[in-house]
Amino acid sequence: MSQDLLLGIDIGTYESKGVLTTISGEVIAQVAVPHKLLFPRAGWAEHDPELTWWGDFCAITKQLLSTPGVVAADVKGVGISAIGPDVLPIDENFNPLRMGILYGVDTRAVKEIDELNAKYGEDEIFNATANCLSSQSTGPKILWIKKNEPEVYKKARWFVDATTFIVARLTSRVVIDHFSAGCMVPMYDPWKNEWSDKFCSDFVDLEQLPEILWSHELAGNVTQKASELTGLAEGTPVSVGTIDAGAEALSVGVTKPGEMMMMYGSTIFMIQVTDNDQAREKRLWAGPYLFPGTWCLLAGMATSGSLTRWFRDQFAPELVAAEKSGGAPAYAELVKEAAETKPGAEGVIVLPYFSGERTPVMDPRAKGMIFGLSLTHSRGHIFRAILEGMGHGVKQHVDLFTSIGARPKTIKSVGGGTKNSIWLQAISDISGVPQEVAPLTFGASYGDALLAGVAVGLVSSPEEIRTWQGKARIISPDEKLAETYRPLSEIYTSLYDATKNQMHKLHELDY
C-alpha cells in the first residue's frame, strides 16, 4: 500500500542521524551512525567527505528504506542538513579534492583573518556583511588553501559546504541556502541576498560558489547514479537544505522573533530570530534565517559536548570501560558525581576555550582553563564546573543580546546535552532565561523532513512544525541560585581578560 513519507538526514560532528516521517510528523523510523572527527594537527578539525558525509548519507538512507512496509517510492521528498560553515573544494564531477575543513572548531586560518582585516578593515567587512571575520568564516580558509595547497586550489571547480556536497551528489546541482550562504563570510551580502566579491576577489571567483536558493525550495531530483548508490527512487525530489543548526532550530519550532534555539551538541550554537535586519553586533553573527523576509542573530561556543567527551575519555576511562562491558553509561555516572557537589562547584571555574572561542570573544588563540582548584576538589567538582562554565558563556550571550534589544523570551533547547539535567538547570539558573525542551528531540533531521515536505507541497508551511511537536518541558531559573552564580560569572568573564596576553603567547609558541 502506497504511503507519503518524508526523509530527513543530518550529518553532525560526531554522528549522523536520519528519520522517516509521515506528512503530519509521525516518526516511522530513525537511525544514528557514529563517525570520527579528525584532528590532523593542533587547531585543525576535518571530516572525510567521501566516507563521512556521503558514506553516512548512503548508509542511513539504505537503513531507513529497509524499514518493514516501506519502499523507495513512498519517499516523496528528501531533506538534508550538515555541519557548517565548512569548506570543501570539489572538481567538476563533485569529487572532493581534500578533507573537509570544519566550522569554527578549526582555527587554522588565523593569519589569513589578520591578513584580510589588515587589507580591507574590520569595520568595513562588518558593515558590508553584518559579521566580523572569525574562525567560523569560510573565506579565510579558502585563502589558506590557496596559500598552502596551491595544487588543490588550482583544481577546484567549486568551494562548497557539506550540505551542498551531498545535494550535488544526489541531483547534480550545486546549490546552497541563504542561511548557510550568510555564514560564508565575507563572500555574501545579506541585504542584497547575493554573493559579493568585494572582499574575496583575490582568492575565489564567484562562479566557484554555489547557486543560492531558500532552504525549503527544490534543488532537483535524485539522479539514476545517486539512486543506485542510495536506494532512493530515481526522480525523488530533494530540497536545498541548510546547515544543521538551522534545521535544528526549525525542528523545535523556532520561527518567530524573540524565539531562540540553543543546540547542545559538540558545540553550543544559538539562533535568535529577530524582526529587524539591522540587529547586529560585532561579537555575534547575523544574516537571513531560513525563509524570505527573516533575519537572525547567531552565536556559537567552540566546545561543549566535545569538552565533556574529552573529560570523560581522559579522566574517567574506568567508567568508559565499564559502560563497554554492559555497565551504566559513563556520562550518567559523571552526572551523579557532579550532583553530589554544590552549585558553583565550590569555586572551580572552567573557561571552555579548549578549541579557541567563537562568540562573544572571537578569539581562535584563546585557551581553556580550570581555575580555582584546591586539594578538596574531586572529579565531580570539575565536571560540574565544566557544565557551569558553559552556562557562564551562555549568560554572556544573553547579556549581549539584551544590550542590543534582542533578549530572548525563551530558549528552545535541543540536542544530546538536554538529557543532562544538571547542565540544563545550570544554564537557566546562570542565564536567568527559562528553557523549553521539546518532547521530540530527533534534532536537525526532523527539521530536514519538514523542509522536504514544504518543498514538495505536502506540508503547508514551516509553521506546521508546531503541530508536529507536542507540549514542551519547561526548565525555570532558580532565583536563589542566580545569586550564587552571579559573582562566579563575573570571575569567569574577568579570567579571559586577565590571561588573554598569556594565551596568545602560548599560541605563538605553537601550543
Residue 426 lies in a domain: yes
Q: Which residues, in sequence order, are CB contacts of 136 under 8 Å at separation 6+?
A: 85, 103, 104, 183, 185, 285, 300, 358
pLDDT classification of 1: cutoffs 50, 70, 90: low
Residue keyed to cell 565499564: 322
Residue 41 lies in a domain: yes
Residue 300 lies in a domain: no
Comparison of pLDDT for 404 and 18, the residue scoring more: 18
- Please state the rounded mean pLDDT for residues 290-304: 91
Do 445 and 395 share a structural domain?
no
Do 215 and 153 share a structural domain?
yes
User: Which three cell numbers, joined as nine digits, stand for 168?
Assistant: 550535488
CA distance 371 to 391: 16
Do 443 and 378 share a structural domain?
no
- Please state the rounded mean pLDDT for residues 249-253: 92
Q: Are 61 and 230 in contact (CB under 8 A)?
A: yes
Do 193 and 85 share a structural domain?
yes
Encode pLDDT of 117-174 as tens digits: 999 999 999 999 999 999 899 999 999 999 999 999 999 999 999 999 999 999 999 9
Residue 262 lies in a domain: no
Do 464 and 412 share a structural domain?
no
Do 14 and 94 share a structural domain?
yes
End-to-end CA, the chain: 61
Predicted pLDDT of residue 274 = 86
The neighbouring-strand residues paired with 371 are: 349
Domain containing 39 equals 5-253+438-468
Do 143 and 36 share a structural domain?
yes
Domain with residue 451: its CATH number is 3.30.420.40
CA distance 16 to 18: 7
pLDDT at 175 over 90: yes
Do 200 and 99 share a structural domain?
yes
Do 145 and 24 share a structural domain?
yes
List of long-range contacts for 49-53, beta carbons under 8 Å, 24+ apart = 49/88, 49/96, 49/99, 49/100, 49/162, 49/165, 50/96, 52/11, 52/16, 52/100, 53/11, 53/82, 53/100, 53/162, 53/165, 53/166
Number of domains in the chain: 2
Of the candidates 470, 497, 20, 461, the one whose C-alpha atom is nearest the C-alpha of residue 252 is: 470
- Please state the rounded mean pLDDT for residues 4-17: 96
Do 454 and 363 share a structural domain?
no
Predicted pLDDT of residue 258 = 85
Encode pLDDT of 20-72 as tens digits: 999 999 999 999 999 999 999 988 999 999 999 999 999 999 999 999 999 99
Burial class (CB in 10 A: 0-12, 13-18, 19+), 109: buried
- Mean pLDDT taken over the chain: 94
Do 320 and 240 share a structural domain?
no
Encode pLDDT of 84-125 as tens digits: 999 999 999 999 999 999 998 899 999 999 999 999 999 999
Please tell me the pTM assigned to this model.
0.87
- Please state the rounded mean pLDDT for residues 192-220: 97
pLDDT at 289 over 70: yes
Residue 154 lies in a domain: yes
> What secondary structure, in 3-state letters, does 428-465 show?
HHHHCCCEEECCCCCCHHHHHHHHHHHHHCCCCCHHHH
Residue 282 lies in a domain: no
pLDDT classification of 408: cutoffs 50, 70, 90: confident
Predicted pLDDT of residue 132 = 94
User: Which three cell numbers, joined as nine digits, stand for 384?
Assistant: 560540574
pLDDT classification of 504: cutoffs 50, 70, 90: very high
pLDDT at 276 over 80: no
Residue 335 lies in a domain: yes
pLDDT at 257 over 90: no
Q: Are 102 and 49 in contact (CB under 8 A)?
A: no
Residue 279 lies in a domain: no
Do 223 and 168 share a structural domain?
yes
Neighbour count for residue 506 (Cβ, 10 Å): 12
Of the candidates 402, 420, 424, 401, the one whose C-alpha atom is nearest the C-alpha of residue 476 is: 424
For 462, what's the count of Cα atoms within 13 Å in the CB-facing half-sphere?
23
